[in-house]
Amino acid sequence: MTLAAPVARPTIKTTLLLGFGLTLTIWLAAGYYFTRRLSDTEARAVEINVRYLRAQELLSGVRAQVLIGSLNIRDALLDPHPDAAEYQRQFEITYDTIRLALHDYVPVVDSQSERERLSRLQSEVENFHRTMLQVLGTDSTQWPTEARGLLRTRVVPTRETVLHVSEEVQALNSTAFVQQQRDVASIYSGTQRGLWETLGLALLGTFGVALLAARYAGRLEERLQAQLSEDAEKARQLHDLSAKLITAQEEERRTIARELHDEVGQVLTAIKVELAVAQRTIEADGGNAMVLDDVRSIAEGAVATVRDLSHLLHPALLDDLGLPSAIEWYLRGFSRRHGVRAEVLHDRMDQRLAAEVEASIYRIVQEALTNVAKHARATVVRVYLQRLSTSVLVTIEDDGTGFDPSALNHAGGGSGLGLVSIRERAKQLGGTVSLETAPGKGVRLTIELPLRLRQKPSEPAFPEVPDVREAVIHG
């Protein structure tokens, strides 16, 4: 059965970014909508204003040209020596101007009534044009005597009709313009109302997005806090397990050391006694007792080896005489085994530390010197023990080859199990570890542990009891 892969959940940062993006999108869309509406409304208002002003200007021009044309006809009729051709030419120029103005005219709202009024105005202008040409086509010699009648019956009525129609068109344009202004104002009002509505919706959407984002971020934070608490609990459990393992290891070493000393040591001592008795019996019978010397030497070597192993596993000196003596004894053996000059210096270490602190410092020194023997190729090793006001300072330094500290952070570069063990022991007691080294510069390892003094002197782990038979052998 295949397990489904866990669904990846967005992080708090992703959630906040999504919320911010949605909010920004809402406001951008609202801003674009209102900008577009306002732009369209303003463009429409400007177009209406321009069209109205242009229409009014053209109609005023038509009225003015009609008046000018009628004045030309009046002047011709009242002129005692008129030049009909010249007056006709001037009137045609005026008519062409009117015709062009009407051709360029654009209705303001292009309604049916406005188109009808415009068509009627064009018809009246054509009628005015025909009437004026008919007047100019009469006998010019009769103009001074007939001028009053022609003006009253033909020129003025036709002119007034054109002016009246143009005024109607202007009035219609004004009415349409006012109505358009009202429509624009209504559009502005509707746009403003829509603005507030959309603004409210945008605010509501923003609040909803912010609420959802905050709720989801809160849930993520709760899960994160729960995960951190779980990780902290697991770290604490691992720390407790590591402490229990170290304690169990120390107890196991203590038990093995006691068994080696009490059982194997005593058996080997008994063998030495029996060999001594056998050698004296052989000598008493006149035999050669030298044949047992090698066996006795082997037995004595085995006794010494067992004693050394017992001390390495858990030195009785650490329980009996204290930390400096135990480390000094270990350094003598280290120098003898590896040919490295080793020495210990201590300051204010006269008062005994807590048993677990002394045991941890002793194991740290053991682990550090093991690393020196394996990797450093050193000739001198120094161990410094110093009791401060609130802590104990342990420094181990050598003059070996050293190494690059960054190599410890690379995979396969030698993770340093010895250093891991040292750091774990120091961490168990609430201490710190610092490492100073460089290729060819040796190594300085500094461990600082909280000061914990021994409340009551503890009994030795396994006191040395003089063996009667061994005393007999050695006289």
Where do the domains of the chain lie?
12-217, 316-454
pLDDT band at 446 (very low <50, low <70, confident <90, very high): very high
Query: Out of 340-354, 381-395, 413-427, which region has the weakest mean confidence (pLDDT)?
Result: 413-427
Cβ atoms 422, 445 nearer than 8 A: yes
For residue 87, pLDDT beyond 70: yes
Burial of residue 122 (CB within 10 Å: 0-12, 13-18, 19+) is: middle
Q: Model confidence over 99-147: pLDDT tens digits?
A: 888 778 777 766 777 777 778 888 888 887 888 777 777 777 777 777 7
Residue with tokens 């001037």: 90
Q: Model confidence over 160-191: pLDDT tens digits?
A: 887 777 777 777 677 777 777 777 777 777 77
CA dist 442 and 252 (Å) reads 34
Q: Model confidence over 103-116: pLDDT tens digits?
A: 787 777 667 777 77
Average pLDDT over the chain reads 77
pLDDT band at 311 (very low <50, low <70, confident <90, very high): low
Cβ atoms 75, 150 nearer than 8 A: no
Task: Look up residue 150 and give its two tokens.
Answer: 């022609």
3-state secondary structure of 285: coil
**DSSP-assigned letters across all residues of 71-107:** HHHHHHHH-SS--HHHHHHHHHHHHHHHHHHHHH---
Torsion of CA 165, 171, 177, 183, to 10 degrees: -110
Largest distance between two CA atoms of the chain? 199
Among residues of the chain, what percentage have pLDDT more than 70? 82
Highest mean predicted confidence (pLDDT) among 37-41, 247-251, 462-466:
37-41
pLDDT band at 359 (very low <50, low <70, confident <90, very high): confident
Sign of CA dihedral 288, 293, 294, 299: positive
pLDDT band at 197 (very low <50, low <70, confident <90, very high): confident
Cβ atoms 160, 127 nearer than 8 A: no
The pLDDT value recorded for residue 341 is 92
195 vs 385: which has the higher pLDDT: 385
Taking the mean position of all CA atoms in its chain, how far away is CA 311?
56
Residue with tokens 């242009």: 54
Radius of gyration for the alpha carbons in the chain, expressed in angstroms and rounded? 60
1 vs 237: which has the higher pLDDT: 237
Whether CATH 3.40.50.10210 fits 12-217: no
Q: Model confidence over 366-400: pLDDT tens digits?
A: 889 988 988 888 999 999 999 999 999 999 999 98
User: Average pLDDT for residues 152-158, to the nearest whole number?
Assistant: 79
CA dist 214 and 211 (Å) reads 5
Regarding the domain delimited by 316-454, which CATH topology (the fold level of the hierarchy) does it fall under? Heat Shock Protein 90 (3.30.565)
pLDDT band at 448 (very low <50, low <70, confident <90, very high): very high
Residue type, 404: D
